[in-house]
Amino acid sequence: MLNKPVLCDAFFDSFDSSVRDVNESETLPPACYVSEEFFEFERRALFDHEWLCVGREAWAQRPGDYFTTAHAAEPIVVLRDNAGALRAFSNVCRHRGMLLAEAHGNTRNLLCQYHHWCYGLDGKLIGAPAMERAVGFDRTQVCLPEFKVETWLGFVFINFDKDALPLGPRAAALTAALENYEFAELEGEFPPPPTKFPWNWKVMMENNNDGYHANKLHAGPLHNIVPSHLSVFPQLPEDTACYFRWNGTEHQDAAFNPTRRALMPVFPKLTEKERNNFIFAQVPPTLSLVVMSDQITYMILSALSANEVAMTRGWLVAKGAMKSTMFQERLRIGQESIKSIVAQDLHVDGLIPNGLRSRFAPRGRYSWQEQAQREFNYWLVKRYKSAWKVMARPNG
C-alpha cells in the first residue's frame, strides 16, 4: 500500500473529515505518519516555512556563545554575535560540507576543523588557507546562509523562509495563558543531547498533546493527579500558531512524584486557577510544553524522516529556585518519578507505526477529550492544503 504514491488531489481532499468539530472528525490518513513521500512533502509544506524551536536564549548569553541543532536534517548553528545579536546560520562549511560547530560552547569564530576555513560570527568567510590559485574564488563573497530568528518566552525559533510572518502575534493566546509563569526569566540546565526515536514526529507531538490517555495508559496514583475528564480547551483564533489545554488537577500544586505535590518553589505569580491546573501546550511542528506549578518540561522535536524523530527534553524552574535547599535532590526525585510515565509513552509511540503501516490501519474517531488533536489537524491541514495547491499547479 505504501509504495503507491500518496500525493494526489483525492488524498488532500480526504483531509476535510479531520478538521470538522472534534465530535465529527476522524484521524488523518495513516500514510501521513509513515510515508517517506509524504514526509518529503511536509519538508516543503511545513518545515521550510514554519518557526522551528532550536533552544533557549539563555544558552547563548555572551558574544561568541553558540549551540548547534538540526531541523528536517538541516544542520543549524545559533550564536550570539559581537554586537550582542542572536543569529542562526547553516552549520555547513562552504568548502566541502563539513559541519562547522559541534555541541555548544564559546568561540571567537567558526573554524572548520577539516581545512581551516574560518568564518566570523557574522557568517562571513574571513580565512581560507592556500586558496590564492583558485580561479575566480573571492573569499569576500562567501558567507554562511543565515536564517530568521525570533525569541518567544525565552525560546529561540528559526525560520528558513525569509518572508515568514513573525510568530509572536499568532502565539498571543498562549502567551497570555503563560504570562504569570514569567517564562523569559525561568532557569534550567543545558539539556542532554537529543535522543532519536524510530517513529514519525507527529506520533510524538500527538502523544504530548493527548489528555485522553492520561488516566488509561498512565492509570495509577502517580499520574491520576491530572485526570482526563478535567481537560478544558480554550477557543483559539483561526490563525493561531499554537494551541493548548488546561488540565485540572486533583489538588493544588500537584506534581508527578510520590508526594503528589510540587517539590520546587512554586512560580510566585500564579493565580489559584493556575495552581490547580497544568497547561499542555504545543507550538507545532517542534515544541511541546508541560506547564506545572513549580516546573516546566519542554520537548523540542526534530523530524528526521517519516520514521525518525529526535527529541531534546529539558526543564525550567522559577528564577532563583536552583539555589533552593536540596534542589538537586528534589530534581532527581522528580526525574526518577516520571521515568515510568515516559516509558509508557515511548512504548506506545514505538508500536503505533506498526499499526499505521497495516492495511487495516483506521481513520479513527475522537473522544471530546481529544479536542487538541483536532486543533493539531486544523493547523496541519491548512498548511498541507495551501502547499499542495501551489505544488500541484503545472509549474508549481
Q: For binding to ligand FES (CB under 6 A), which residues are involved? A: 93, 95-96, 98, 112, 114-115, 117
Residue closer to ligand FES, measured from CB, 91 or 209: 91
Closest to ligand FES by CB, 2 vs 142, is 142
Rounded distance, CA 373 to CA 213, Å?
Answer: 12
Quick one: CA torsion of 156, 161, 163, 165, rounded to 10 degrees? Answer: -40
- Closest CB to ligand FES among residues 115, 273: 115
Which of 139, 224, 345, 385 is close enough to bind Fe ion by CB under 5 A? 345
- Residue closer to Fe ion by CB (options 68, 200) is 200
Please state the closest distance from residue 118 (CB atom) to ligand FES, in A.
9
Q: Which residue minimizes CB distance to Fe ion?
A: 345
- Give CB contacts under 8 A, 24+ apart, made by 31-36: 31/1, 31/2, 31/6, 32/202, 33/200, 33/202, 33/203, 33/306, 33/352, 33/353, 33/356, 34/2, 34/200, 34/306, 34/307, 34/353, 34/356, 34/357, 35/2, 35/6, 35/306, 36/305, 36/306, 36/307
Q: Which residues contact 67 (CB under 8 A, 6 or more apart)?
A: 54, 55, 59, 60, 77, 78, 79, 103, 104
Binding part of the chain for Fe ion, among 48-56, 265-273, 325-333, 341-349 by CB under 5 A, reads 341-349
Q: Which is nearer to ligand FES, 144 or 214 (CB)?
A: 144
Tell which residue, 264, 252, 373, 270, has the closest CA to residue 320.
264
Question: How far is Cα of residue 352 from the mean position of the Cα atoms in its chain?
Answer: 20
**Contacted entry of ligand FES, Fe ion, none for residue 345, CB cut-off 5 to 8 Å set by kind:** Fe ion
Q: Which is nearer to ligand FES, 10 or 135 (CB)?
A: 135
Told to check if 338 binds Fe ion by CB under 5 A, we report no
User: Distance from CA of residue 287 to its chain's centroid?
Assistant: 2
Distance CA 370, CA 365 (A): 10
Segment near Fe ion (CB under 5 A), from 135-143, 227-235, 292-300, 340-348? Answer: 340-348
93 interface partner picked from Fe ion, ligand FES, none, CB below 5 to 8 A per type: ligand FES
Cβ proximity of 100 and 91 under 8 Å: yes
Cβ neighbours around 13 below 10 Å, total:
11
Number of residues in contact with Fe ion under rule CB under 5 A: 1
Q: How far is CA 50 from CA 158, 225, 307, 366, in A?
A: 8, 34, 20, 27
For the bound state, the minimum distance from the C-beta of residue 220 to ligand FES, rounded and expressed in Å, comes to: 52
Query: Closest approach of Cβ 98 to ligand FES, in Å?
Result: 4
Q: Tell me how far, at minimum, the Cβ of 213 lies from Fe ion, in Å.
A: 6
Overall size of the chain counted in residues: 396
Cβ-based nearer residue to Fe ion, 57 or 345: 345
117 binds, among ligand FES, Fe ion, none (CB under 5 to 8 A by kind): ligand FES
- Least distance to ligand FES, CB of residue 70, Å: 18
Take residue 273 and report the three cell numbers written for it. Answer: 486557577
Which residue, chain included where needed, has cell 489538588?
251
- Say how many Å lie between the first and final Cα of the chain, rounded: 27
In which residue are the cell numbers 508549481 written? 396
Please report how close the Cβ of residue 121 comes to ligand FES at its closest, in angstroms. 17
- Find the shortest distance in angstroms from Cβ 97 to ligand FES: 6
Q: Which three cell numbers stand for residue 218?
A: 498512565
Task: Identify which of residues 96 and 196 has a Cβ nearer to ligand FES in the complex.
Answer: 96
Complex with Fe ion: residue 269 or 347, whichever CB lies closer: 347
The interface partner of residue 78, options being ligand FES, Fe ion, none and the CB cut-off 5 to 8 Å by kind, is none
Residue 273 interacts, among Fe ion, ligand FES, none and using kind-specific CB cut-offs from 5 to 8 Å, with none
Q: Say how far apart CA 143 and CA 125 lie, in whole Å.
A: 6
Min. distance of Cβ 66 from ligand FES in angstroms? 16
Out of ligand FES, Fe ion, none, what residue 95 binds, judged by CB under 5 to 8 A for its kind, is: ligand FES
Report, in Å, the least distance between residue 73 CB and ligand FES. 18
Residues that bind Fe ion (CB under 5 A): 345
